[in-house]
Amino acid sequence: MNAWMTYLVWPLVKFLVAFIIVQVIVAAMNWVERRLLGFVQARLGPNRVGPKGLLQIIADPVKFLLKEDIVPASAEKVAYFLGPILPLIPTFLVYCLIPFGPPPTFVAARVNVAILLVLALTSTGVYGIILGGWASNNKYSLMGGLRSAAQMVSYEVPFGLSIVGVLMMVGSLDLVKIVDYQATNVWNFIPQIVACFIFFVSMNAENNRTPFDLPEAESELVAGYHTEYSAMKFAFFMLAEYSAMLVNCCLLVSLYFGGWTLAMFGHGLTSSALRHWGWIGGLIGTAIFFVKVMTFMLVYIWFRATFPRFRFDQLMDLGWKWMIPLALGNIFVTAIFILAGQERLMYWIGIAVLGAVVYYMKPKRVHASRVSEA
């Protein structure tokens, strides 16, 4: 009976709680994204439904549920129904593996090859998109599906390679161990700044987000693979996309930004410090984790608001000619530093790069004469 509880009931309960929280975040993200995009574009975004437009979160699903569900007459029926469901299942399963807080309570299933499993599950999401695009029996959908396949397969490579540097430094595939390593050393994004950048870019490409949203390029392909989908099936596609975004943000935070901890060199809120306070500490850790994740979701939206879409050959160029060599080079350099026992030197390189970026980003005073010339 006890084994049933520990191995079946509790993990299921944890998974359900994580699932519900994640779904609420995903629904809220839709509103946050539209609102922020509006702000960037000097307008207000959805603000009519409820206070500040917050009830839009409820209004959207209700509208999706009430809309007519159209199936094209010439569609391949079984594949057409499988299309929206297939990308959902793996992204939901991944939430079992992600450590939302200190391990015993806040991880549904602690697996010692968690990263491998996560990569394997998330990369199956492309099947649903291809199936959906093909089954709609529409050339635009098919083009969208094919583009998505090409894009996701080519960005899977730098996505995986960028993680290798972290794995070499930590020496484990366990997400919990990676987070604990970062709390006792430096957060991985400082020594692995190049890998972190590659990871973020390829995670944008994996999710078909805007600089890389060729599969659903409105100006070329109507709406890409979900042209023929309406009502709840379309909502499933959106749900899968936003869930995958959230999964990737969780991964990014766990791998590079210290997960649920707020500590470096063992000082601050490490796992042991949080465990000292019992379940309240665990909740604090989860809160820290979600704050970090939401920050990166906002960065996603920031990128979407900023960058125009790539051309398809440019996209492939970036993937194969830049990201993959850069990731391989990063592995090589990391290996050299680890062999030489000079990991501290990598910290300084990372800090120098970050400093340069911050220095470049800092607001500069522009002389009035230069403004009028331009």
Partner 1 sequence: MQVEYPKPKWSERFLLLDMLEGLKTTLRELFRPKVTIRYPEERLDPADRFRGMFRFSFDRCIACKLCAVACPIDIIYIDVHDEQREVDGKMKKLKVLDRYDIDVKRCMFCSLCEEACPTKPKSIWLTTKTYELATYDRNGLYFNMQELEYWENRPEFPGLPPEVEGGEPPKQIPGAAE
Instruction: Summarize as ranges the residues that interact with partner 1 (CB under 8 A).
Output: 36, 38-44, 47, 302-303, 305-307, 357, 360-361, 363
CB of 303 to partner 1, least distance (A): 8
Give the bridge partners for 262, in sequence order: 269
SS3 268: strand
Amino acid of residue 304: R
Question: Based on CB atoms, which residue is closest to partner 1, 268 or 325?
Answer: 325
Closest approach, Cβ 50 to partner 1, in A, equals 15
Helix (H, G, I), strand (E, B) or coil at 262: strand
What contacts 106, CB < 8 A, 6 or more positions away?
A: 14, 99, 100, 260, 282, 285, 286
- Of 165, 201, 226, the closest CA to residue 322 belongs to 201
Please, which residue, 140 or 200, has the CB nearer to partner 1? 200
Burial class (CB in 10 A: 0-12, 13-18, 19+), 254: buried
The SS3 assignment for 228 reads: coil
Measured between alpha carbons, how far is 9 from 374 in angstroms, rounded to an integer? 65
* Nearer to partner 1 (CB atom), residue 308 or residue 341: 308
Nearest-approach distance from CB 252 to partner 1, in angstroms: 17
263: enclosing H helix or E strand: strand 262-264
Per the CB < 8 A criterion, the answer to whether 326 and 198 are in contact is yes
Smallest distance from the beta carbon of 40 to partner 1, in angstroms? 5
CB of 349 to partner 1, least distance (A): 15
197 vs 256, beta carbon nearer partner 1: 197
Nearer to partner 1, 113 or 298 (CB): 298
Q: What is the DSSP letter of 365?
A: P
To the nearest whole angstrom, how small is the minimum distance from the Cβ of residue 5 to partner 1? 48
**CB nearer partner 1, residue 186 or residue 327:** 327
Q: Provide Rg for the chain, Cα atoms.
A: 22
Do 243 and 190 touch, CB atoms closer than 8 A? no
Cβ 115 to partner 1 shortest distance, Å: 28
How near is the Cβ of 360 to partner 1 at its closest, in Å?
6
**Crossing angle for the helix pair 231-256 and 125-135, to the nearest 10 degrees:** 160
CB of 36 to partner 1, least distance (A): 7
Q: Which residue's CB is nearer to partner 1, number 39 or number 348? A: 39
Cβ atoms 101, 277 nearer than 8 A: no
Q: Please, which residue, 341 or 363, has the CB nearer to partner 1? A: 363
Name 263's bridge partners.
268
Compare residues 23 and 47 and give the one whose CB is closer to partner 1. Answer: 47
Distance CA 105, CA 82 (A): 34
Cα–Cα distance for residue pair 208/262, rounded to 1 Å? 31
Closer residue to partner 1 (CB): 303 or 320: 303
Report whether 105 contacts 17 (CB < 8 A): no
Q: How far apart are CB 315 and partner 1 at their closest, in Å?
A: 15
* Sign of the torsion formed by the C-alpha atoms of 256, 120, 118 and 241: positive
